[in-house]
C-alpha cells in the first residue's frame, strides 16, 4: 500500500457540505436512519434491538430507513452472514430502501476522504506493529488507554523523516495512517474556538441535550488501517454523510466514539447528525450480548418457532416508544 494511493482528488459531490447555519439544519429534510451491521457473524437480540429502534423511529418520523453492510474487514466477512442479516431483518418485519450499501464496494470514496486529511497535514504513516506499540506503552505509559481500552499510541514513527518513510515504503513495509491529534485539535480550535466537540444526544424520552466530548481521549487514532484503505471511524463518518443520515441510533458501547466522529466531521466539512445511544442487552454474566460471547442468533430463535413479536418483547420494545426529534 503506497502513500500515493491517497492522492486522488476529493470530489465535492461525494459528500454533503456542512451548513453555514444551524448545525441541526438536517432537521429540515426528511429524516434518514440506518442499521449498519458487520457480517462477521449472525445477528442476535442486541442487533434486533438496534434495528427495531431505527426502523420504528424512521416510521414514526415519516422518514427513510436504510441498511448498510459494514464489511471493510475482508478477512472476517462471510457472504452467508450478509444473506442471513437480510433474512433476519425481513423476518422481523423490517423494510428498507434498495440498494443496500456495502462498504467494501466503496474503498475509493474513503481514500478520497483520507486524501483530504492528508492534504491538511493531519495524517502520518505508522509502521509500528501491535507488539511494538504494546511494549512501548507498557514502558512509558502503561495506564494510558483509549476509550476502547487499547493502549494509547505512544508516538512511534511519528517523527520519521521523509527519507525514512520513503525507504520503508520502498521495502513494502505495511503502514497505517494515523490522525495527528494535536494538529487536528489545532484546526478544530481555529474553526470552532474550542479543542472539544459537542453533539446533540437524545435521551430515552426523546429529550435533546448538547453533550461535550474530548476527542483527545483517542490519541493518534488509526484512520486508515494497514490491511484496508479505511477504518471503522472514517467509513462510518463518510457513509453517514453521503447517505444523508440525520439520526444515528446505535448502542451505548459506541458513545465514546462520537467524540472522534464529530472531530472527523468538522475536519471533513460534514454536517453532524443527531445521536441516540440506546441501552445494551446483557447476558446472565452481566456482559453485553456479543457474537464472540456466543449469543444465540436470530435464525436459531426463528428455527425454534419464536416469532418476531416475541423478539420485540424479549428486547423490551413491546410497549416502548422510541425517542423522537425532528
Does the annotation mark 288 as catalytic? no
Sequence-ordered list of residues with C-beta below 8 angstroms from that of 191, at least 6 positions apart, any chain = 266
Report the 10 Å Cβ neighbour count for 107.
15
Chain Cα centroid distance, residue 90: 24
The C-alpha atoms of residue 251 and residue 253 are separated, in whole angstroms, by 5
What is the three-class DSSP state of 65?
Answer: strand
Cα separation values, 294 from 70, 279, 322, Å = 21, 20, 28
What is the three-class DSSP state of 27?
Answer: helix
In sequence order, what E strands does 176-293 have? 176-179, 197-202, 208-213, 222-224, 247-251, 274-278
The C-alpha atoms of residue 315 and residue 43 are separated, in whole angstroms, by 13
Burial 44-70 (b: 16+ CB within 10 A, else e): bbbbbbbbbbbbbbbeebebbbbbbbb
What is the three-class DSSP state of 145?
Answer: strand
Annotated catalytic residue, options 158, 226, 288, 291? 291
Bridge-based pairing of strands 222-224 and 208-213 is unpaired
Sequence-ordered list of residues with C-beta below 8 angstroms from that of 160, at least 6 positions apart, any chain = 125, 168
Residues with catalytic annotation? Answer: 291
Amino acid at each position: 500500500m503506497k502513500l500515493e494511493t491517497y492522492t486522488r482528488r476529493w470530489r465535492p459531490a461525494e459528500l454533503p457540505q456542512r451548513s453555514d447555519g444551524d448545525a441541526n439544519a438536517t432537521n429540515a429534510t426528511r429524516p434518514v436512519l440506518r442499521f449498519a451491521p458487520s457480517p462477521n457473524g449472525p445477528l442476535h437480540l442486541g442487533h434486533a434491538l438496534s434495528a427495531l429502534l431505527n426502523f420504528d423511529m424512521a416510521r414514526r418520523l415519516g422518514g427513510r430507513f436504510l441498511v448498510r453492510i459494514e464489511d471493510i474487514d475482508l478477512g472476517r466477512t462471510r457472504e452467508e452472514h450478509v444473506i442471513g442479516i437480510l433474512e433476519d431483518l425481513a423476518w422481523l418485519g423490517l423494510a428498507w430502501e434498495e440498494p443496500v450499501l456495502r462498504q467494501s464496494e466503496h474503498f475509493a470514496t474513503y481514500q478520497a476522504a483520507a486524501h483530504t486529511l492528508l492534504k491538511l497535514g493531519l495524517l502520518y504513516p505508522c509502521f509500528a506493529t501491535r507488539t511494538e506499540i504494546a511494549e512501548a506503552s507498557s514502558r512509558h505509559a502503561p495506564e494510558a488507554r483509549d476509550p476502547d481500552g487499547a493502549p494509547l499510541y505512544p508516538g512511534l514513527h511519528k517523527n520519521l523523516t521523509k527519507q525514512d518513510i520513503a525507504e520503508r515504503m520502498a521495502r513494502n513495509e505495511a503502514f497505517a495512517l494515523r490522525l495527528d491529534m494535536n494538529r487536528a485539535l489545532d484546526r478544530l480550535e481555529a474553526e470552532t474556538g474550542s479543542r472539544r466537540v459537542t453533539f446533540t444526544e437524545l435521551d430515552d424520552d426523546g429529550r435533546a441535550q448538547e453533550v461535550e466530548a474530548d476527542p483527545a481521549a483517542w490519541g493518534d487514532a488509526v484512520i486508515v488501517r494497514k490491511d484496508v484503505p479505511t477504518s471503522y471511524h472514517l467509513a462510518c463518518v463518510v457513509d453517514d454523510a453521503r447517505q444523508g443520515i440525520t439520526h444515528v441510533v446505535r448502542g451505548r458501547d459506541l458513545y465514546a466514539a462520537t467524540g472522534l466522529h464529530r472531530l472527523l466531521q468538522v475536519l471533513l466539512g460534514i454536517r453532524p447528525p443527531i445521536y441516540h445511544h440506546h441501552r445494551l442487552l446483557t447476558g446472565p454474566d452481566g456482559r453485553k450480548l456479543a457474537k464472540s460471547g456466543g449469543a444465540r442468533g436470530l435464525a436459531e430463535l426463528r428455527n425454534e418457532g419464536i416469532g418476531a413479536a416475541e423478539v420485540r418483547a424479549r428486547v423490551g420494545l413491546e410497549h416502548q416508544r422510541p425517542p423522537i426529534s425532528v
